[in-house]
Structure 1
């Protein structure tokens, strides 16, 4: 925007500085009204630049405030600094710039816009994708902003509850658990701190890759990466070679390698899309999430285990190893074990775990997740069911990550939700994410929001009616970064949807020996219903469902 200075200058050099900033030690105070519950959410706010001017005669500093606005932002200062901002309904952006970000004086100073800051940090977050603001930031401030924003490039980001559970879980945390004596028996056989060196146990089930055209070279050029990611990939390759899970390759095939942030640390993955497009898909029936939850109906004790690096515990078929070749900064390598990213990998893992536990009525598996549950109030019965499961793991030399385990609990995390004695409830992390979600301003942001809420729509009555007007915005333009604007009805539905999903009901696990009831309803453009059972005189919802009517149904 005109009137904004985009130059990046070092302190003490001659430069085109604003007069109000000359000879000043500056800091920023960004006022924003982008909070999801704010009526002025689509209005724009100025950035207040506060400069500490030095008096020529006394040498003492004084504080001066100026509103720095682009031409598009004239007349919006009062709206921006209205009651919504005063009530603290601010986004992560405002918190980032007002809490522990302002730097001390005496170091290099940069003049930068929000847009340029986003490019400077090489991030794609939409949290600061605003019209241009004049920013006055020191080098150290920018580093602090980077640590706050670059979550994809920050392996030690452990702010969410899931990551915190992983860090805090060790053997000491299980000392008071009824299962502790049992777990100690399997400490060296199942609950190892790391996978043993060398290839996994040779089993009947190995991963095979049946290609459609064996003469096609499946190669894709490696793209650029940050130095930090390159170092991480090299360290990972060296570690995998020591463990004898990969080896140097001369294969004509090669996939790019990249990093994905985990709750704790990095996950190294590869782009196997070319390989997958040339692979014959396996048709294997998968266990449904609902079937696992229904099997837990009436259970009193719950335990869950997660296989450690599950794919690395499955061998590759020897003649298919060449197809797994991948590029790294230190050469071309290929897998001796099942890599992540290849199609049919989930099917192979499902075949393995379902075959092992199919005869245990109190144990269910979903890929690398293992769930043990018992309906009896006796803890001894649950420990016996747990022992049978651990025996199978030990006999097949499969290893479990202790940090991801929960034993003898009245509630466990299960397939994105929490299941327990009272039923199924939403994951608190998802609730918080929905609560903090700002009003979408692009089709891509709206796609993401509807994708998240669609996954948990069984917790929300009338979901189709609330989202119908929002889905209509996705049909107008095909560009995912196209700007969108909510009207009053859409904004009202957005807030109501968030309110319902931030206060979701606990869904009842059905008792198939008792009658169920179905209540349905319809509007001019959507249908819906709720399945429920009466428990102790109260209606307990099992699931909500709804959908928009098709064009033929509207006639």
Structure 2
């Protein structure tokens, strides 16, 4: 038997995918809602066309001068403080050969180096030491990186003391507008013309300082940090007790008689044994309840007379400046 060929549908039987002008007008008269698909030329995507949340977009607009679309083809003017890498005296200077790469990567690396030379960001050097550059993939393109492991091994590691938080808070007494430039003006010199003095004050934003919110009223807690303590579940082991104790102790200055209230919880951590008592549970809930309505602490006024108030008991000892 011969195979019967498949039946071919006529063009009239196939559904129409296009409407004439008259058919479109008739259809629009019958229906209330019409969805029209229109084609347009797609322009090249730009970074500034990306959609951001409203609060993020506002910050980007306010500080748009900090990240231009293209960097200027020159370095900034010379400053009083110049960056320098101090090496260990007598250390062997590295002089490493370039990494092996294929012709495509070599041409790309040369292109990026020539571009940096043209812009003045780098310059030819006859330095006695050398470290290789390489290309790494990033966002569909190649990014030039410098392997500085050899330099890091012979670099002097400087150690700087960390400023105590209490001392930093004392520096803010009587201040209304806070700026890092004000706090560090004795260390860093900024190249500003006379018309720019104080202009940075209009760029400031309220921010938290190590878990505290500092304003002209005083020092208060960060609500986001406090929420973690308020929502803390009852500890089930000694590690959870230690975590809660450390978090709550950070805000001890805001709670009157904190050591006495926390004493039952402190007892649970002694000898490395976890014993959760009724007194500890009561203190746990009391600490959490006091965290909800913490006072605003006024910054000290050193022009006034201080009084030392001391107190002690079987579970705690302390002193306060009034």
Provide the TM-score with structure 1 as the length reference.
Answer: 0.32
Does residue 503 (structure 1) correspond to residue 300 (structure 2)? The answer is no
Unaligned runs of 5+ in 1: 1-165, 215-236, 254-274, 306-349, 361-382, 391-404, 533-555
Query: CA RMSD, aligned part only?
Result: 4.7
Listed as ranges, the gaps of 5+ residues in structure 2 are: 1-51, 93-135
Task: Answer yes or no: is 1:204 the counterpart of 2:82.
Answer: yes
Once the two structures are superposed, residues 506-552 of structure 1 have per-residue CA deviations (whole angstroms, 9 ceiling, x without a partner) of 110112112233322211131123334xxxxxxxxxxxxxxxxxxxx
SS at match of 1:450: helix
Larger gyration radius, structure 1 or structure 2: 2
Q: Does the C-alpha gap of structure 1 residues 290 and 209 become closer, same or farther in structure 2, counting only changes over 3 Å?
A: farther
**Structure-to-structure mapping, 1:56-455, within 5 angstroms:** 168-170=54-56, 172=58, 187-188=64-65, 191-192=66-67, 204-206=82-84, 238-239=137-138, 244=144, 246-248=145-147, 282-302=158-178, 355-356=187-188, 384-387=197-200, 406-407=204-205, 412-455=207-250
Q: State the secondary structure of the residue aligned to 2:262.
A: helix
Structure 1 residues 169 and 204, CA, compared in 2 at 3 Å: closer, same or farther?
same
Go from structure 1 to structure 2 and tell me whether the alpha carbon gap of 1:304 and 1:248 turns closer, same or farther (over 3 Å shift).
closer
Q: How far apart, in 1, do the equivalents of 2:252 and 2:234 lie?
A: 19
2: CA distance, partners of 1:502 / 1:174? 34
SS of equivalent to 1:458 = helix
8 Å contact from structure 1 (residues 521, 529) kept in 2: yes
After superposition, give the CA deviation of every residue in 1:250-296 in whole Å (9 maximum; x if it has no partner). Answer: 86x9xxxxxxxxxxxxxxxxxxxxx9xx9986443433322332222
- Relative distance call for 1:414 and 1:250 in structure 2 (3 A) is closer
- Structure 1 position 466 matched with structure 2 position 256: no
Structure 1 position 428, deviation (Å): 0.6
Cα separation, partners in 2 of 1:444 and 1:385, compared to 1, 3 Å? same
Contact in 2 for aligned 1:462/1:528 (Cα 8 Å): no
Paired residues in the alignment total: 218
Confirm or deny that 1:487 pairs with 2:319. Answer: no
Query: Offset at 1:357?
Result: 5.4
Deviation per residue, 1:180-222 (Å, 9 max, x gap) = 6xx6xxx43xx22799699x989634466869x99xxxxxxxx
Q: Calculate the TM-score normalised by the size of structure 2.
A: 0.52
- SS for the counterpart of 1:293 is helix
Q: Alpha-carbon deviations, 1:410-453, whole Å to 9, x = none?
A: x5422321011210000011111110011111222122212212
Contact 1:302 1:412 in 2 (8 A): no
- 1: CA distance between counterparts of 2:187 and 2:161? 13
Asked if structure 1 preserves the Cα contact closer than 8 Å seen for 2:218 and 2:299, the reply is yes
Q: Equivalent residue of 2:270, what SS?
A: coil
* Equivalent in the alignment of 2:48: none
Q: Matched residues in 2 for 1:197 and 1:247: separation?
A: 22
Q: Counterparts in 2 of 1:539-554, with a 5 A limit?
A: none
Please state how far the C-alpha of 1:354 moved relative to its aligned partner. Answer: 6.8
Q: CA deviation at 1:238?
A: 3.7
Distance 1:196 1:491, change over 3 A: farther
For 1:459 and 1:288, locate their aligned partners in 2 and report how far apart those are by CA, in whole Å. 18
What is the aligned partner in structure 1 of residue 99 from structure 2?
none
Q: CA deviation at 1:406?
A: 4.0
Maintained 8 Å contact 1:304/1:406? no
1:314 alignment partner in structure 2? none
User: Residue 236 of structure 2 aligns to a residue in which SS?
Assistant: coil
Task: Tell me which protein shows more strand as a share of its residues.
Answer: 1
Question: Could you tell me how far apart the structure 1 residues matched to 2:163 and 2:191 are?
Answer: 15
